[in-house]
Amino acid sequence: MFSLPIIALLVAGAQAAVLTLQSPRFTVSSSTGSQLRSEPISLAHASSIPVTLTKDDVLKLTFQVIDKESGKGVQPHQTFLRFYDQNSGEEGIQPIRVTNGGKAKFELNMARPPLSLPPTSDAPLQVSLLIGSSTYSPLALSLFDLIVPASHPVPAHPDEASFHPLPEIHHTFRPEQKLPPRPISALACIAVLAPWIVLLGLWGQVAPRAVHLFSPGIFPFILTLGAFESLLVWYWVDLKLGQVLSYGGVLALVTIFTGKQALSKIGDRRVGRK
């Protein structure tokens, strides 16, 4: 079904009919309407004098697209004006409306420059015409160089400040705490240990005589209490929490037994003595 148009296209492409422009011409006029410059455009070689536009000037471009062989006006499918800045590599594409008869008119008013005009740099814009048609071979014509007034600087986007790397974050930590000098540590150690001398001195005077301390009923209790304290020291030095809790649980059972025995014995002796 659709193979027929495709074949037709291929045949047309094979013919490679050629388009050309008739009477291409540009006119520069000032805002008051007075004509400043009006020249035909040579298709063979681009104009050596660039076209200069000032702030309020209007550039008019007129041409007719024709079939080179028959000389009839042709409406191509695509017609573009390309503004290319060689320095910045920026380009702008401006579509141009072409009538059925192939006539086209383009107006560039610098008072209201089109969005397709690239931002200016040092180099003039190279203006070329690109014409594409399904039944003709494509056409690219470089027309002239164009010097336009400098574009405004790009306004800063309101969020522009957010798109820069932030200054590097430096964390400040509290300085490492230090131990005091050794003499002070030694003095403090003596001061903290001095109460032991007081304790031992006082106990030496007032210690009650513990006559039954080593009796078989009481000594196991003292022993298990001592074992508890050693277990806790061992915990400090080496053991893990779980080990301490399990060993302590076993030791607690023994201690409850020995403690009950020892304390009931002491209680009996106290009550019996009374």
Partner 1 sequence: MAPKSSPPAASNVVHSLWKAYSDQTSDRMKFIDAFLVFLMLSGVAQFLYCVLVTDYPFNAFLAGFSSNVGQFVLTASLRSQVNPENKNEFKEVSPERAFADFALGSIVLHFFVYNFLG
Q: What token pair was written down for 138?
A: 């494509």
- Residue closer to partner 1 (CB basis): 149 or 259: 259
Which one of 184, 186, 213, 223 is in contact with partner 1 (CB under 8 A)?
Answer: 184
Task: Return the closest-CA partner of residue 222 out of 265, 271, 193, 272.
Answer: 265
- Residue closer to partner 1 (CB basis): 161 or 192: 192
Query: Considering the complex, what minimum distance in angstroms separates the CB of residue 198 from partner 1?
Result: 6
Q: How large is the C-alpha radius of gyration of the chain?
A: 52
Which one of 9, 10, 150, 232 is in contact with partner 1 (CB under 8 A)?
Answer: 232
Report the C-alpha gap between 156 and 236 in whole angstroms.
65
The answer to whether 247 and 231 are in contact (CB under 8 A) is yes
- Residue closer to partner 1 (CB basis): 156 or 192: 192
Query: Considering the complex, what minimum distance in angstroms separates the CB of residue 222 from partner 1?
Result: 10
Q: What amino acid is encoded at 137 in this protein?
A: S
Size (the chain), residues = 274
- Residue closer to partner 1 (CB basis): 160 or 268: 268
Query: Considering the complex, what minimum distance in angstroms separates the CB of residue 244 from partner 1?
Result: 8
Q: What amino acid is encoded at 252 in this protein?
A: A
256 three-class SS: helix
Report the C-alpha gap between 157 and 4 in whole angstroms.
53
Q: Does position 229 bind partner 1 by CB under 8 A? A: yes
The answer to whether 135 and 69 are in contact (CB under 8 A) is no
Report the C-alpha gap between 38 and 34 in whole angstroms.
11
Task: Return the closest-CA partner of residue 94 out of 55, 46, 51, 61.
Answer: 61
219-237 and 241-273 are packed helices; what angle lies between their axes, rounded to 10 degrees?
160
Tokens 């974050």 correspond to 169
Query: Considering the complex, what minimum distance in angstroms separates the CB of residue 180 from partner 1?
Result: 5
Q: Does position 211 bind partner 1 by CB under 8 A? A: no
Write out the binding residues for partner 1, residues 185-204 only, by CB under 8 A.
188, 191-192, 194-196, 198-199, 202-203
Which one of 35, 233, 243, 246 is in contact with partner 1 (CB under 8 A)?
Answer: 233
Write out the binding residues for partner 1, residues 254-273 only, by CB under 8 A.
259, 263-264, 266-267, 270
Q: Does position 177 bind partner 1 by CB under 8 A? A: yes
- Residue closer to partner 1 (CB basis): 52 or 261: 261
Query: Considering the complex, what minimum distance in angstroms separates the CB of residue 169 from partner 1?
Result: 29
Please count the residues of this chain forming the interface with partner 1, following the rule CB under 8 A.
34
- Residue closer to partner 1 (CB basis): 216 or 267: 267
The answer to whether 103 and 61 are in contact (CB under 8 A) is no
Residues of this chain that interact with partner 1 (CB under 8 A) are 177-180, 184, 188, 191-192, 194-196, 198-199, 202-203, 205-208, 225, 228-229, 232-233, 235-236, 244, 248, 259, 263-264, 266-267, 270
